[in-house]
Each structure stands twice: as C-alpha cells, then as structure tokens.
Structure 1
Amino acid sequence: MPTLLRRVDSQSSDDTVVDTTPRTFERQLGETETSYFLPSRNNGVNDMYLHLGFHASRSTMLQLRVALVWAILRLRHPLLASKVEMTDYTDIKFVYNPPDCASDALKDAAHAIEYRTQTKEELVDVYLNGPRTLDDERLSYLIISSAEANQGPQANFDLLLCATHFLGDGMALHQCANDFFTLLSSQASLEMMLNDEWEKRVGSIKAKESLSSFGLPDSLETRLPRGADGKFQHAVNRIDFQNSQNKLIGGQSFPRQFGQERKTVVPTISYHADQTQTILKKCKTNGVSISAALFSICNHAWAQTSKEWTQPTMMYSALNLRPTLTASASLNDTYWFLAIGYFNVVLPSFFPSQPEDTERTFWHRARIAKNQSTRAAKNPMLASRSLEMARERGSRARMWAREDDEKALGIWQAPPPKSKPATGTATPTAPQTCLIGLSLLGNLDGIYKHANFPSIKLHTLTTGSRQRPGGMLLFGYTFCGKLWISLGYDENGFDENVPKFWENVQKTVETFLM
C-alpha cells in the first residue's frame, strides 16, 4: 500500500497551524512494473504510444480545452502525473505530489502537452526512432498535431498519447483516449469540472492523514488472488510453473542481422467495412475469433516464407489479468495500472500441399490456437503462474540492468563458464524460441464510444512501443468497423524474410478469410 510521507506542520506567529509541506504519495514498483522499468531507462524500450487520427472543429481543439481535459485525466489517474525514483535495483518507487490547487493541476498538465504540425507518419517515426520522449520525471505525454495549412473551422488532427509501459497496458491507453474525447466533447464547463475533480481527489483530503480514499493503485502482484500459503504451496506453485514452461517448444525464428542502428517501421493494412464483415463471418463459421485466426495466419505466412519445417512454431501474446484481480481500496476508479501476463501458442510448421487440405489445416490450426488461448486464460493455476512469471521477469530484469550498468562503467566481468556435463549424461532440451509476438486488441469499438463524441470523427488508429534492436510485434484489432493489422519491427535487425512474411500475411488473409 502507498504511504503518506513528509507531512510537517509548523506554527505561525499567531499560533495558527499551517501545513507548509506538500504531501507525497509513493509505493514500490511491483515485479512486473520493474521488469518494464529497468530496460526502459536508457532508450525508452517499451515506451507505449497510441496514435489516433480524427476530424474535429478547431474550436473543440483549442489549447486551453485540451489542457483542461488532460489535467482532469491526470487527477483521476495519478500514475500519469507521477515520477519514478530509483535508489538501487530493489528500491524503485512511484512518487506522486498532488497539485496544491486546480490551477496548479492545469499548469502541470500544460507542461506535459506539445503541439506540432507533423503528419501521422512523422509523429510515429520520431517517437519510435528519435530521442526518447519520456523519462523518469515525465511518465506520460500528449502530442496534438495538425499538418493542414487550411485555417478553416474543421480540420484533421493527429493525437499521440504516450506513456511508459510500467504505468499500464494497452487497455489503459485506449480507455484513456476514449475518456479524453468524451470530455473534450462535453458541453459542460471544463473549468468547473477540473475544480470539482481537484476538490474530490485532493481538496477533500487536505486535513486527513488517511489514504483510504486517495493514493496510487496497488501493483499487479499484490492484487492477484492467493491460495494457501506456506513453503509447501510455494514449492507446488514453482514446480507447476516450471512444468508449464518446459512444455513449450519452438524452433522457428527470423534470421537476424547486426551492426546497424535500430529503425522501427510499422507497415499497416486495413480492410474496409464490407471486407471486414466477410472476414469476421468466415471466422465465426469456422468457430474462432479473428484473434485466434491471426495465430494461424502468422503460422501459414511463416510456412510460405521459410521451408524449414522440422521444428514447431511458437508465438506469444499478452494475457489480460484484470478480470482475475482482487478488489483494492487504493485502486479507486483508475484503470491506469499494469495487469498483463503472457501465454504461448505452439503450432506445427508444415502445411499440406493440396489446396483443399491446406485450408482445412489452416482452420484446424486456428481452433488449436483458440483452445490453447482459452486454457491459458482459464487455467486454475493462472494466478500462481502469473506470480511466478512476474518474479522471474523481475529477477532477470535486475540481472540484465546490473550487467548493463557495469558495462557502461567498464567494470563488468563475464561469469566463469559453466562446466560441461560428462559425455552421455546431458539431457537434451527442446528449443524454446518464439517466432513473433502478437498483440490482439479485439474489437476496439467496444471501448471507443463514438456516440459520446459525435462532433469528433475518429478514422485511424495505430499503436505500438519503442523497441529494442531486433524487436518485432504484430497487432490485430477492429476499429471504426474495419480490421487493422500492423507489424512493428526493426527493419535493420532482420533480413529480407520479414518483408516476405508481411506480404504472405496479407496473401493468407485474402486466401482463407475473404
């Protein structure tokens, strides 16, 4: 739980008690948050962005209105306005200083907004490949851009909502964007809304010592349900986790190339509404969602790209843990927190040569992917496995961070090589290489309540994150009634197989889903 720090009351000359010290709220990062924070320190690896293109009146997008809306959201979701302080690898904390008044909240929000005249492509490229936008003092940022020279009343705008990944996940980004547009379209006074929000979030607790109604949301690990405690149960959970990991087999990977500076590109394709309805109907007929079909699409596209099929294909995806979490008094109504786990889908790599057999196999693989995804989400050991995975990811992140820091200081020493087992005693292990990660966002029109902001017409959505060299992630979602598929990858980190794969992804959709 967060704690209230540094409250100091001093007496003035007339014996009136005056509170002169800002109240500060803080808590330690959880294991999952730490696993995202530590790699982000140098170059912003995993810093998220959400781009939305939309038409709106220029009066709606006045800078004061945008700043007021952003200030309201930052009050509702204090992690957006927090910073991170790191003492050592095991002492990393969020720190939040609530604004002293509504005008201070507005001023703080205005410092976290930037206005540009760049195109969507320029915005995304600069964010992904330029200097890092975020840092430990600025965990979220809002960029509004309009590249149109026409000064008419209506214009096209691009919004880039930026946040570090250890603040939250993709669902938080999308819900925040929906709330942003809903507030922006409000006919009520935004100034009064900000004043009311500050009074509710900050003013009402000025004389209180308790954080029962205010504070930072608890970490994922403290909110995952826990069963029986004790050394025996911990051992059982650990063995179950290791057994589940040992079952994963994957021997397919894109050939890498090294030596060039990372350059992330995000080729994107969308299918118009009629095509999307055909695709969704075809998936429903075959008993799967588009999310399950995307695993099979990647599986088939890879089989068309590489003819080396001796090992299975393994892909990973994020698992939404929000339905699993226990209630939290400190959560309030914020959705800005990180609540994701991970699961893998393993499929055979080969496909039959006959067309009729190929299509039958394609849909069979999609149903296999559906079953594996369902088993991961509904497994009775989901909470304990997620806790074990979080501990493992946090431990690895600390080890790699320490190694990176020591290398930067020139004091790192390679550990001694492990002794090799005697001939004939080593147990061969199956490869566990992932081909690609999939971010399956589902139907985003279920999050964006377009009817709540009728004067704003959303038309384009792209999302992703800053990557490490050799990074790759495929996104699939429906938005504005259209299916969108995008592939974010380091074009300098791979050979020509990736463009071939992307071309085969599109061909696979056309062949089996349309």
Structure 2
Amino acid sequence: MSTLDTLVLDRARGACPNCETVRGALNSASSQETLVEVNDTARVERKMGDTELSYYLPARGNGVNDMYLHLGLTAPAHILERERIRLVWAILRIRHPLLASKVDMHSYDDVRFVYMPPHSVENALENAGNNLEYRTQTKDELIDSYLNGPRTLSNDRISYLMISFPRDSASSGTPVRCEFLICAAHFLGDGMALHQFANDFFSLLGSTTTSELASLLCTEWQARCSKLEDHLSLPSALEDRLPLVKGKFSQLASRIDFQRHQEKLIGGHTFPRKSGASRHTIVPTVAIDQNRTKDLLKRCKDHGVSISSALFAICNIAWAKTSGEKPEMPTLLYSALNLRPYLMASKPSHESYWFLAIGYFNVVLPGFLPRSSDLAATFWHRARSAKAQSTAAAQNPMIISRSREMARKRSQQARAWAKEDDDKERGVWTAPPTTPKKSGPPSNALVGLSLLGNLDGIYKHSAFPSIKLETLTTGSRQRAGGMLLFGYTFVGKLWLSLGYDANGYDKDMVKRFWNNVLDCTQEFLIN
C-alpha cells in the first residue's frame, strides 16, 4: 500500500474508529484484504434505452458527444490535495454507479451498462485514482486536448476527472489556481447531471475535512456496496421513467402526431460546409461583466422574455445580417428540452441524478430583416415568439409521446449508421439504392442552442466558501461539421460560447456570424 493510501486510511480510522472495513484494510495492508468482503464478481447490468443508444452508437469511434465541464478556480493549496480530491471522487462514484460502470455491446439493439461495485473501501479509492489525472496544462490546452486529441473515454471508462495546475499560473500566498475538467459520456447523463455533480463535488471538497471525507467514504460503501441484494441497482433509462402510451390506437395516434409535427418544421438556412480537412473544434467564449449582465437580465424581464428566448432572436438576426440570402425561407433553430419534470417517481434505490433525460424542441423565425429602421422592435417581437414556441413545446400535452417517438427515430438512425460504419470498416458495405427526395419544403436547422439558464441556481457558492469558482466552459467532442452555441449565467456573468468545427465551415462566414451575435447582444441587450 502506498504512503498516500495509508495516510487516507489512517485519517479514516481516526474519524470512524468503529468501521471494521477501514480497520481491516489497515491491518492487512500488504494483502489488501478487508474484514468485510464483497464478492468481486458481483455485478449489475441493464440495457440502454433508445435515447442512450442514440448517443452511444455514434460515440464508439471517436467519442462524438463526449461531454466536458471545465471550471477554473482558486482555492487554498491544502483543499486541493490529491488525497482529498480522490476521496471526493470515490464517494461520488459510489453514490452514482453509472459513473463507475462499463459498457458491453452485444448487438446494435443490445448495449448494456455493467456495474461492478468496489469490494472494499480501498478498492473504491483505487478505482477513483485510476480515473483521475493531474496535468500542468492551461485551460485552453486542457480543453483542446480533450476535444481534438485522442479520445479520453471508452467502453471501459465512461467518466474521468482531470485536475491541472498550469505551469505559468500565479498564486498569491496559499490560494492556488486550478483547472478542473470533468469528463463524461453523454449516454450516461446530461448537462443538468453534470452541473449538479460539480456542485456536489465542490461542496464536499470545500466544506469537509479529510478525516470526515474518509469516514463518509466508509459509510457510503457500507450503505451502498456491502449489502448487494438490497442496494445494488442502476438508474433506469429515460423510456422506463416516462408514462406509457397505452393501447394500439393511442400509439398509432402518437406516431401520426409526431410525423405531422415534424412536417411543420421548416428551415431553409444552413452554414456553407467544407470537407476534406480533419475536424478541429474551437470554442470562442465571451463573458459579460456582472453589472451589464444584471442590466440586460432586467431588460429581458421588462420585455417579458428570458435571456434564453432572447438568444434565439439574436441568432436569427445575426444570421440574417451574415447571410442575407433566401429571406423568403424561415430559420430553424433547435435546442434540448429537459424532460426531468415529466418523469414518473423512481424507486428509492434510483435516487442518483446521473441519467440521460433530454428531448428536443425547435424554434422557427423569419429569415428576413424588416425594411423598417426599428430593428429593436423586431428583435423583441421575435424573442417573444421564441418564448411562445418554447413554452408551447414544453407544455404540449403530446410532449411525452413526441419525446418517445423522437428517441425511437434517433435510435433507429443510430443503429443504421453504426452498421454502415462497421460494414465500411470490414469492407463489405454496399451503397443502398437511391430513393427520390421527399417533396415539400426543407427542414434544415441552422444551429443548435444549449441554453443552460442561471447556473448560479445550481452552484451553491456559499456551501464551499474557501473555493472561488471563476470561469465555466462546457461542451462536447463533435462530429465533423458540428456547431453548438452555449448561453448561460455563471458567477453573475452572462457567458456566450460557440463550439464548432473550424475546418468544417467557411471560416469568414462563421467569424462574421459570431461577431454579429456579439454585436446584436450589445445592441439589443446592453446599449
């Protein structure tokens, strides 16, 4: 056992003198045995649902959609000691078993999460340490290596934690600068899970002594891993949490409604694409200071919209200024829909928030700019239209059935594309016969918006006063030609970022669009 492991367990002994598990680990350090043992072949597994499959299958090759959450912070050096971070990481991996699971793929229809619980406290620490890495990169280097380098995650490692102390970072006294990168496959959770997890991580790290953390790890392991017949379970798939559409007639009606709804989504604008060069994702990010953010949020409220609705209108007008083409065609934008409010109550054993629960909705806005000089009035009108469409999507009585149908459609497409990729790799793929294009207007989306809202409602900064969170950037590894705009408030600031494949588009066009987004934000929300 390493000196570090002995130190952690020594502190656990002092905090939890009656814990037989920790005492056993201490007394038999050389053999790594414990007095309370769990069968090391114990496991639990479940099949992925449609939504999870739709994210897993495209990720197999190069990690498409693998999420990351970067947080830049300062904290006292002792708070950031490796032993403390490893303890917190181990505790949360026990609380949220999908983080510590692996993936077994049996067929395109049968892909499974497999969880093998740690058979001891020491084993939990070891597993956490094996999925934790320290670096000396800057924020930009850290994010770039994750987005554009070799894939970090895999079937055997679907979550990972990177801690970086940049070589050139300045420290004043005991506080030091640190960069956190929390990595997780998108098929095991969504953005809400990612941010709630980060809040819980820093709450434990910043408000608990090392001895208390070691004692808590012992308690969590005993409660969740030592009595497998009572506690060993995985969070259910989204489709098992949504209310069922009962009866063949209702199911048929749901599919007809979904199809008709899809036919109404008209979009005739897209960024010009480039091909040939390898994908390279960049994430230009701008933060607006607290005073101006406070003012612009009030301005949005005075006009009856949220900042999220305003960002739909900003993208719409920014694109019209950028392109100026096909003004007769509407602009289609899409965003994720949080489905957690619609879920049925889960069993107490499924209290983990690490699961995937997102659907999608669309906003359609005019593709032209008015001849009137009062562009601000047009902007606020379109922001209110975006709000009305967003509200209608969330409150539609068919939202559950539409979400089920969308998940089913996406998983079918993912399975077909996965088989095609595998056949091409084996050299046995043959092109399918060409089919005539469907008649009717196009339904092309310009860009996706990830609108995270007020993240200060999730991060309870007062719960970890010794840790000062300063910056937040989030996103995912993209496919070639990927693009997603992020908008959120954090530490009282509005943050805007555009993650996109710099080699997949006309660079001048994207640069003009991004500059127009920032100019429109300044013109309509700040001036």
TM-score by length of 1: 0.92
The equivalences for 1:101-500 within 5 A come to: 101-148=120-167, 152-188=173-209, 189-203=212-226, 205-206=227-228, 208=229, 210=230, 213-227=231-245, 229-308=246-325, 309-329=327-347, 332-356=350-374, 358-418=375-435, 428-495=439-506, 496-500=508-512
Rounded to whole Å, the distance in 2 between the matches of 1:153 and 1:126 is: 29
Rounded to whole Å, the distance in 1 between the matches of 2:339 and 2:434 is: 39
Gap change, CA 1:456 and 1:326, over 3 Å in 2: same
Which amino acid letter does the alignment assign opposite residue 368 of structure 1? S
Rounded to whole Å, the distance in 2 between the matches of 1:82 and 1:114 is: 18
2:527 paired with 1:510: no
Rounded to whole Å, the distance in 2 between the matches of 1:124 and 1:427 is: 41
Rounded to whole Å, the distance in 2 between the matches of 1:137 and 1:413 is: 32
Rounded to whole Å, the distance in 1 between the matches of 2:233 and 2:348 is: 6
Aligned residues: 484
> Shift of the alpha carbon at 1:475?
0.2
> Shift of the alpha carbon at 1:281?
1.1
Which amino acid letter does the alignment assign opposite residue 146 of structure 2? Y
> Shift of the alpha carbon at 1:310?
2.1
- C-alpha contact (below 8 Å) 1:474/1:486 kept by paired residues: yes
Which amino acid letter does the alignment assign opposite residue 498 of structure 1? V
Q: Which runs of 5+ in 2 are unaligned?
A: 1-36
Query: In structure 2, the residue corresponding to 1:493 is in which secondary structure?
Result: coil
Rounded to whole Å, the distance in 2 between the matches of 1:37 and 1:145 is: 28
Rounded to whole Å, the distance in 2 between the matches of 1:341 and 1:327 is: 18
Deviation by residue 1:398-457 (Cα, 9 ceiling, x = unmatched): 000000100111100111223x5xxxxx98311000000000000000000000000000
Which amino acid letter does the alignment assign opposite residue 496 of structure 2? I
2:75 paired with 1:52: no
Q: Which runs of 5+ in 1 are unaligned?
A: 1-17, 421-425
CA RMSD of aligned residues (A): 1.4
2:112 paired with 1:89: no
> Shift of the alpha carbon at 1:20?
5.0
Which amino acid letter does the alignment assign opposite residue 508 of structure 1? C
Rounded to whole Å, the distance in 2 between the matches of 1:470 and 1:19 is: 47
> Shift of the alpha carbon at 1:271?
0.5
Query: In structure 2, the residue corresponding to 1:176 is in which secondary structure?
Result: helix
Gap change, CA 1:21 and 1:503, over 3 Å in 2: closer
Rounded to whole Å, the distance in 2 between the matches of 1:498 and 1:125 is: 19
Query: In structure 2, the residue corresponding to 1:368 is in which secondary structure?
Result: helix
Deviation by residue 1:190-218 (Cα, 9 ceiling, x = unmatched): 11010001011112x14x3x5xx431000
Query: In structure 2, the residue corresponding to 1:364 is in which secondary structure?
Result: helix
2:61 paired with 1:71: no
> Shift of the alpha carbon at 1:331?
5.2
Query: In structure 1, the residue corresponding to 2:128 is in which secondary structure?
Result: helix
The percentage of counterpart residues that share the same residue type is 58
Rounded to whole Å, the distance in 2 between the matches of 1:498 and 1:109 is: 40
- C-alpha contact (below 8 Å) 2:137/2:167 kept by paired residues: no
Which runs of structure 1 show a deviation greater than 4 angstroms over 4 or more consecutive aligned residues? 18-21, 148-152
> Shift of the alpha carbon at 1:19?
7.5
> Shift of the alpha carbon at 1:285?
1.1
Gap change, CA 1:416 and 1:97, over 3 Å in 2: same
> Shift of the alpha carbon at 1:58?
1.1
Query: In structure 2, the residue corresponding to 1:138 is in which secondary structure?
Result: coil
TM-score by length of 2: 0.90
Query: In structure 1, the residue corresponding to 2:478 is in which secondary structure?
Result: coil
Which amino acid letter does the alignment assign opposite residue 506 of structure 1? L
Gap change, CA 1:67 and 1:19, over 3 Å in 2: closer
- C-alpha contact (below 8 Å) 2:40/2:119 kept by paired residues: no
Gap change, CA 1:20 and 1:281, over 3 Å in 2: closer
Query: In structure 2, the residue corresponding to 1:185 is in which secondary structure?
Result: helix
- C-alpha contact (below 8 Å) 1:215/1:330 kept by paired residues: no
Which amino acid letter does the alignment assign opposite residue 443 of structure 1? N
Rounded to whole Å, the distance in 1 between the matches of 2:343 and 2:99 is: 21
> Shift of the alpha carbon at 1:70?
0.1
**The 10-residue stretch of structure 1 (315-324 or 145-154) with the greater mean CA deviation from structure 2:** 145-154
Which amino acid letter does the alignment assign opposite residue 319 of structure 2? W
Q: 2:18: which partner in 1? A: none
Which amino acid letter does the alignment assign opposite residue 440 of structure 1? L
Gap change, CA 1:347 and 1:107, over 3 Å in 2: same
> Shift of the alpha carbon at 1:278?
1.3
Rounded to whole Å, the distance in 2 between the matches of 1:244 and 1:405 is: 33
Q: 2:28: which partner in 1? A: none
Query: In structure 2, the residue corresponding to 1:489 is in which secondary structure?
Result: strand
Q: 1:13: which partner in 2? A: none
> Shift of the alpha carbon at 1:500?
0.4
